[in-house]
Amino acid sequence: MPDTRHEPIRAGIGTPLSRVDGVAKVTGEARYAAERPAAGLLHGVAVLAPIARGRIIGFDETAARAVPGVVEILTHENRPGTAWRDRNFSDETAPPGHPFRALDDATIHFAGQPVAVVVATTFEAARFAASLLRVRCEEEPHEMDFNTARVEAYDPPKKRSGHQAIKARGDAAEAWEAAPFKVDAEFHLATEHHNPMEMHATTVIHGQDGSLTVHDKTQGAPNVQSYLCSVFGLSSDKVRVVSEYVGGGFGSGLRPQWQVQVAVMAALKLERSVRVVMTRQQMFTHVHRPEAWQRVRLATDDVGQLRAIRNEAVTATSRFEDNQENVVNWGLMAYACPNADGDYKVAQRDTYTSGDMRAPGAATGMTLFEMAMDEMAETAGLDPLAFRLLNYSKVDAMSGLPYTSKALREAYRAGAEAFGWEGRPFAPRSMKDGHDLVGQGMATGMWEAGFQKTSARARLTSDGRLEVASATADIGTGTYTTMVLVAADALGMDPARITAKLGDSNLPKAPVEGGSTAAASVGAAVDLACRALAKQLLKAARKVEGDPLGRAGLDDVELRDGCIVLKEDRSKSVGFTQAMQAAGLDEVVAEETAGPSLGGSVSQMRTSRATHSAVFAEVRVDEELGVVRVTRVVNAVAAGRIINPKTARSQILGGVVMGIGMALHEETFADLRLGRWMNHNLAEYHVPAHADVADIEVIFVDEVDPVVTPLGVKGLGEIGIVSTAAAVANAIWHATGQRHRSLPITIDKLI
């Protein structure tokens, strides 16, 4: 009989658990893509295009080739053949258009495009030789000014998957004209570049049989694998992509970036193992959050009830792909209002294609919309929170569909109470403390609650240890830990006896980790696999002498502390390993797939799904110096069931910090004459430092929702950034009485 004297371990969904990969990460045992050892490794360093648009005439390679250790210089003239297929699904996250192909031909599409890769026996030799390589170009006129590009903005002809159609209601134009109180304001968001701790890097290990093991910095190993197979015409059994640890992504790792293209190209040509690492400067040459313009018109009746919402936006894309986001939809969904319309366009300029960056679309469009909402509240003479409550919508106001759950009212209440919103003076410039003007602002956040088809495997071995595995990623979000907690919950096991494996294209298939869908999707798959495994254990338990569980089904037993316990007679139980032994099994394995169409109910189809938040911020503005300090943020989040309160809180903290960056710091400047991003390093591209971040309180309100996903989980990776910058901007108005409609609100704008 198993030992049941001690208290059973009750860890599972809802238990705060430290990251199971935490020790490996802080001790350096966890290796990133650029840290994977390989015998006879070569190093590649990319040379970037010095102009924004034109053609390569030729290369002066003599000096570079003379550097000792240089093995090869790859360019479009001597690269190995590719099997580029002009189809977008070679990368599951690509927008419509023609994906960038590194070293494809002589065309230069953007400044910073890789045009050559110097490969050498050491990184130092490759870098030095790269600095000696001369690229001769023929320049063509380019356009990098968003304001100029915006004049020719257009409705993207092909829709990106996940791009939501805008649905108007009523007659917003007429209602806006007729209403007594109105706001008409234009907003702007600067270009932002992702700056994860880990730069994009790839180590390709070339096997003797020609197979490739590609250690890549990515948010989706299977996506990179199928991409490489389609680019180079390789069969999938010859390419394995691994990304066990990822030092942050924020969306920059959703699409395969150019370093993986050129690293594989070099490995194939030289039949050697090759590593390519982007420098921090080079990180500013690829994906970025698009610069955005948004015009919001709002109108209310005499008591502050919304009569019209008109929401228009344009975001930047490249000349070769139509990157598009859901920018204006949020404003049409969020509030009850009989008349609403929206318009969304993209504008081309000569850069790399913009792309997803944490809460793409909402972080832009909901944030700027919520700044307009603050102006509307002021114009209508209402407290900003009271104004939002007055216009609260229980349903998705754009589709008219009910939400599977929407505990935003509770989030407003909990957030306002924790923040101490009550008693906030209505008028700006009402709170002064010494040199500082103090202001308080708030905003509503929204994000999708997505669920994607995902597979997972559970394996229990005779030593009583469980391994759960899926090809998904952990980009710092805590996926390893949520997988362990879900398995512990499903099988009633001590989390210390469970390990999670992920980030490997050989593991059960999973989509890219994006859109805050991984916790709900991988969680559901792990749960299914564990339940299937439990069924097998129950069957094996029949072989135990005396058959103590009899004909009991899964509903008749409880799984706890590694045992199957009969509910109606708790003295009767069988240990997992005892059952396996009796049945002569070394291991029990189950693999299952979860997905929206697999077991999703009809009621799920006729609903809207979203997470919500109420963000409150307090700022102190030194009027003489223009310095803004965000002294307090309270972010109250309604995101369904929380698997791991500890890592969940970390996600919101990180999102709020990025939101502070969006409000005050982050901005990439273009030199319009050269057509280049200028501040391409962390000294000049500012992100919040410790001194910029003070008190952040995270609240999760109760939201029970068994419909949204099988475990009632909604996902948290992105909601924390949405509208945080709006709460800060609204607080800056409350402090100073000045409306700043262009983010970030830097010192120069305040003095």
Are residues 640 and 708 in contact, defined by beta-carbon separation less than 8 angstroms? Answer: yes
CB of 250 to ligand MOS, least distance (A): 6
Of these, 97, 360, 450, 688, which contacts ligand MOS (CB under 6 A)?
Answer: 360
**Which of 623, 633, 630 minimizes the C-alpha distance to 434?**
623
Q: Which is nearer to ligand MOS, 247 or 515 (CB)?
A: 515
Q: Which is nearer to ligand MOS, 382 or 708 (CB)?
A: 708
Q: Scanning residues 337 to 356, which ones bind ligand MOS (CB under 6 A)?
A: 356
Q: Which is nearer to ligand MOS, 254 or 377 (CB)?
A: 254
Q: Which is nearer to ligand MOS, 331 or 361 (CB)?
A: 361
CB of 590 to ligand MOS, least distance (A): 29
**Which range in 244-252, 261-269, 669-677, 727-735 contacts ligand MOS by CB under 6 A?**
244-252
CB of 194 to ligand MOS, least distance (A): 9
| Three-state secondary-structure class, residue 69 | coil
**Which range in 243-251, 269-277, 279-287, 706-714 contacts ligand MOS by CB under 6 A?**
243-251
189 CB neighbour count, 10 Å cutoff = 26
Residue 193 is a binding residue for ligand MOS (CB under 6 A): no
Residue appearing with tokens 């030289």: 270
Q: Which is nearer to ligand MOS, 541 or 716 (CB)?
A: 716
- Concatenate the DSSP letters of all residues of 233-279 into one string: T--GGGEEEE-S--S--TTTTTS--HHHHHHHHHHHHHTS-EEEE--
Q: Scanning residues 249 to 288, which ones bind ligand MOS (CB under 6 A)?
A: 249-251, 254
Q: Which amino acid is at 311?
A: N
Of these, 357, 525, 657, 732, which contacts ligand MOS (CB under 6 A)?
Answer: 357
**Which range in 2-10, 237-245, 246-254, 605-613 contacts ligand MOS by CB under 6 A?**
246-254
Of these, 44, 331, 450, 514, which contacts ligand MOS (CB under 6 A)?
Answer: 514
Contacts of 288 (CB under 8 A, 6+ apart): 191, 192, 193, 194, 351, 352, 354, 355, 357, 668
Q: Which is nearer to ligand MOS, 251 or 640 (CB)?
A: 251
Q: Scanning residues 34 to 93, which ones bind ligand MOS (CB under 6 A)?
A: none
Q: What tokens appear for 439 in the block?
A: 């202001």
| Enclosing H/E stretch for 424 | none
Q: What tokens appear for 285 in the block?
A: 């040459």
Are residues 731 and 617 in contact, defined by beta-carbon separation less than 8 angstroms? Answer: yes
Q: Which is nearer to ligand MOS, 246 or 264 (CB)?
A: 246
Please report, for residues 286, 470, 711, 717, the alpha-carbon distance to residue 480 in angstroms, rounded to integers and kept in the order given: 28, 10, 17, 14
Q: Does the CA dihedral 277-281-283-286 come out positive or negative?
A: negative
Of these, 97, 515, 562, 710, which contacts ligand MOS (CB under 6 A)?
Answer: 515
Are residues 636 and 415 in contact, defined by beta-carbon separation less than 8 angstroms? Answer: yes
Residue 591 is a binding residue for ligand MOS (CB under 6 A): no
Residue appearing with tokens 């495997």: 457
CB of 89 to ligand MOS, least distance (A): 18
Q: Which is nearer to ligand MOS, 111 or 260 (CB)?
A: 260
Q: Which is nearer to ligand MOS, 363 or 729 (CB)?
A: 363
Q: Scanning residues 696 to 715, which ones bind ligand MOS (CB under 6 A)?
A: none
Residue of this chain nearest to ligand MOS (CB atom) = 251
CB of 484 to ligand MOS, least distance (A): 22
653 CB neighbour count, 10 Å cutoff = 17
**Which of 597, 48, 485 minimizes the C-alpha distance to 285?**
48
Q: Which is nearer to ligand MOS, 249 or 445 (CB)?
A: 249
Q: Which is nearer to ligand MOS, 254 or 471 (CB)?
A: 254
Phi, psi torsion values for 272, nearest 5 degrees: -135, 165
Residue 720 is a binding residue for ligand MOS (CB under 6 A): no
Distance CA 118, CA 274 (A): 11
Phi, psi torsion values for 656, nearest 5 degrees: -65, -40
Q: Which is nearer to ligand MOS, 518 or 565 (CB)?
A: 518
| Enclosing H/E stretch for 491 | helix 479-491
CB of 163 to ligand MOS, least distance (A): 14
Distance CA 622, CA 703 (A): 40
Q: Scanning residues 9 to 38, which ones bind ligand MOS (CB under 6 A)?
A: none
Distance CA 546, CA 735 (A): 76
Pattern of binders to ligand MOS over 208-227, x per CB under 6 A? -----------x--------
Distance CA 245, CA 626 (A): 41
**Which of 511, 506, 508, 499 minimizes the C-alpha distance to 473?**
511
Q: Which is nearer to ligand MOS, 172 or 346 (CB)?
A: 346
Residue 290 is a binding residue for ligand MOS (CB under 6 A): no
Contacts of 42 (CB under 8 A, 6+ apart): 71, 119, 120, 121, 266, 270, 272, 273, 274, 275
| CA angle, 280 then 285 then 286, to 5° | 105
CB of 501 to ligand MOS, least distance (A): 21
Going by DSSP bridges, is the β-strand pair 340-348/431-433 parallel, antiparallel, or unpaired?
unpaired
Of these, 358, 497, 620, 676, which contacts ligand MOS (CB under 6 A)?
Answer: 358
Distance CA 606, CA 460 (A): 39
CB of 13 to ligand MOS, least distance (A): 23
Q: Which is nearer to ligand MOS, 253 or 331 (CB)?
A: 253
84 CB neighbour count, 10 Å cutoff = 15
Q: What tokens appear for 164 in the block?
A: 């939501």
Residue 163 is a binding residue for ligand MOS (CB under 6 A): no
Applying CB under 6 A, what is the total number of residues that bind ligand MOS?
11
Residue 503 is a binding residue for ligand MOS (CB under 6 A): no
| Three-state secondary-structure class, residue 75 | strand
CB of 18 to ligand MOS, least distance (A): 23
Residue 366 is a binding residue for ligand MOS (CB under 6 A): no
Phi, psi torsion values for 671, nearest 5 degrees: -85, 110
CB of 150 to ligand MOS, least distance (A): 23
Give the gyration radius of the chain's Cα atoms.
27
Q: Does the CA dihedral 577-579-584-588 come out positive or negative?
A: negative
Q: What tokens appear for 182 in the block?
A: 């109105």
Residue 229 is a binding residue for ligand MOS (CB under 6 A): no
CB of 735 to ligand MOS, least distance (A): 31
CB of 515 to ligand MOS, least distance (A): 4
Q: Which is nearer to ligand MOS, 120 or 287 (CB)?
A: 287
Q: Which is nearer to ligand MOS, 46 or 518 (CB)?
A: 518
383 CB neighbour count, 10 Å cutoff = 18
**Which range in 160-168, 247-255, 336-344, 546-554 contacts ligand MOS by CB under 6 A?**
247-255
Are residues 345 and 155 in contact, defined by beta-carbon separation less than 8 angstroms? Answer: yes
Q: Does the CA dihedral 58-59-60-62 come out positive or negative?
A: negative
CB of 477 to ligand MOS, least distance (A): 9
Q: Which residues pair with 588 in a beta bridge?
A: 460
**Which range in 357-365, 384-392, 613-621, 622-630 contacts ligand MOS by CB under 6 A?**
357-365
Q: Which is nearer to ligand MOS, 254 or 537 (CB)?
A: 254
Q: Which is nearer to ligand MOS, 67 or 359 (CB)?
A: 359
Residue ranges binding ligand MOS (CB under 6 A): 219, 249-251, 254, 356-358, 360, 514-515
